[in-house]
Amino acid sequence: MNLLFVADPLETFKTYKDSTYAMMREAQRRGHTLAACEPRHLHWQSGGHVSAHVRRIRLTGQEAPWFHESPLAPAQRLAALRDFDAVLMRKDPPFDSEYFYATHLLEQAEREGARVLNKPRALRDHPEKLALLEFPQYTTPTLVTREAQAVRDFHAEHRDIILKPLDGMGGMGIFRVREDGLNLGSIIETLNRHGEQSLMVQKFVPAIAQGDKRVLVIGGRPVPHCLARIPQGGEVRGNLAAGGKGVAQPLSARDREIAEALGPVLAARGLLLVGLDIIGDSLTEINVTSPTCFQEITDQSGFDVAAMYLDALETALRENTRA
């Protein structure tokens, strides 16, 4: 297969933990060819197809340089997305306006015959904080609002709450307010910009002390191990980007229940790879843009997550060909 990864700049990859790198490595091991571009390299012109200036690469197996790029003239680098066997959208959040525009270009590429995963429309339809609203039976009490008084009322009811922006990533902008309500007003003003921006509020789940679990679902099926991201040093955030410690562990019965309920639903919508965030028994986020933790889970548990992903990708492409 000829694969195109739409991702962040290759030079920024931390290969020892990058899940996109793990996908590339397994794909190359299977004999597939690799190309990469950034969302800014996508373009469309009337009378033509959605195309990109791509980099044809081969992994070296070394820490540095970790890839070799085939020297190509500018005209040779231009490629139509429809000419690849699969286009893998792996750009990290934030889901900003440019990410949104990229999904529209990718959806046009689909109309021209490209196979894009995760599906662009599904990326737009499942914002990572709000996607859980469809599955309230699995969540902790949650509020989405712009109204300061609604947040105060929620705090009065639940006493210990978490507040976070809808467009945050890596634990950015997350606050905990305990029963004393200290700084609640200031935090609301910071997050909702005096009523101009929506925020999410959730009842605090004490089980965060045992970790914010990333449960990966591939092709509708859960990976048998998750990564519990455990807060360190008095932090309330378990995110690895915020200093959390990642510990791989088998799925609990509740983890598996949630993953098996949501997995087939989301896969049917074109979401080949999903990352569920579960604290204790409660679903807190559904990540679809660029789910991570492949290498941490594989290194600690021995379960090859990248191989499971490539199996699912190859199956999806075969089924698409038959259709």
Backbone phi, then psi, for 165, in 5-degree steps? -75, 155
| Residue 37 contacts residue 22 (beta carbons within 8 Å) | no
Residue positions annotated with a catalytic role: 129, 164, 214, 229, 237, 277, 285, 287
> Would residue 319 count as lying in a domain?
no
| pLDDT for the residue numbered 168 | 76
Residue 320: band (very low, low, confident or very high) from pLDDT cuts 50, 70, 90:
confident
| pLDDT for the residue numbered 16 | 96
| pLDDT for the residue numbered 57 | 97
| pLDDT for the residue numbered 238 | 66
CATH at residue 259? 3.30.470.20
Residue 74: band (very low, low, confident or very high) from pLDDT cuts 50, 70, 90:
confident
* Cβ atoms within 10 Å, residue 109: 25
Q: For 63, how many CA atoms within 13 A lie in the half-sphere containing its CB?
A: 2
The number of domains in the chain is: 3
Which run of H or of E encompasses 39? none
| pLDDT for the residue numbered 236 | 74
> Would residue 255 count as lying in a domain?
yes
Residue with tokens 């899940």: 19
- Span 9-24, mean pLDDT? 97
Residue 293 and residue 316: Cα distance in Å, rounded? 22
Domain boundary among 181, 204, 227: 204
* pLDDT tens for each residue of 195-252: 899 999 999 999 999 999 999 999 999 999 999 999 887 677 667 776 789 999 999 9
| Residue 276 contacts residue 49 (beta carbons within 8 Å) | no
> Would residue 131 count as lying in a domain?
no
> Would residue 323 count as lying in a domain?
no
- Span 298-305, mean pLDDT? 98
- Domain interval for residue 265: 207-307
The answer on 214 and 292 residing in a single domain is yes
The answer on 198 and 227 residing in a single domain is no
Query: Percent of the chain, pLDDT > 90?
Result: 86
* pLDDT tens for each residue of 128-182: 899 999 999 999 999 999 999 999 999 999 999 999 998 877 777 899 999 999 9
> Would residue 315 count as lying in a domain?
no
Q: What's the pTM? A: 0.94
The answer on 239 and 182 residing in a single domain is no
Long-range Cβ contact pairs of 176-182 (< 8 A, separation 24 or more): 176/204, 176/236, 181/155
| pLDDT for the residue numbered 243 | 77
Residue 95: band (very low, low, confident or very high) from pLDDT cuts 50, 70, 90:
confident
> Would residue 277 count as lying in a domain?
yes
CATH at residue 61? 3.40.50.20
The answer on 176 and 112 residing in a single domain is no
Burial of 46-56, coded b for 16+ CB within 10 Å and e otherwise, reads eeebbbbbbbb
> Would residue 153 count as lying in a domain?
yes
The answer on 112 and 190 residing in a single domain is no
Residue with tokens 């794909």: 27
Residue 116 and residue 105: Cα distance in Å, rounded? 11
> Would residue 63 count as lying in a domain?
yes
Domain boundary among 183, 204, 225: 204
| pLDDT for the residue numbered 322 | 60
The answer on 284 and 242 residing in a single domain is yes
Domain boundary among 187, 204, 221: 204
Question: For the chain, what is the mean pLDDT?
Answer: 94
Long-range Cβ contact pairs of 264-268 (< 8 A, separation 24 or more): 264/220, 266/122, 266/126, 266/217, 266/220, 267/217, 267/219, 267/220, 268/220
CATH at residue 171? 3.30.1490.20
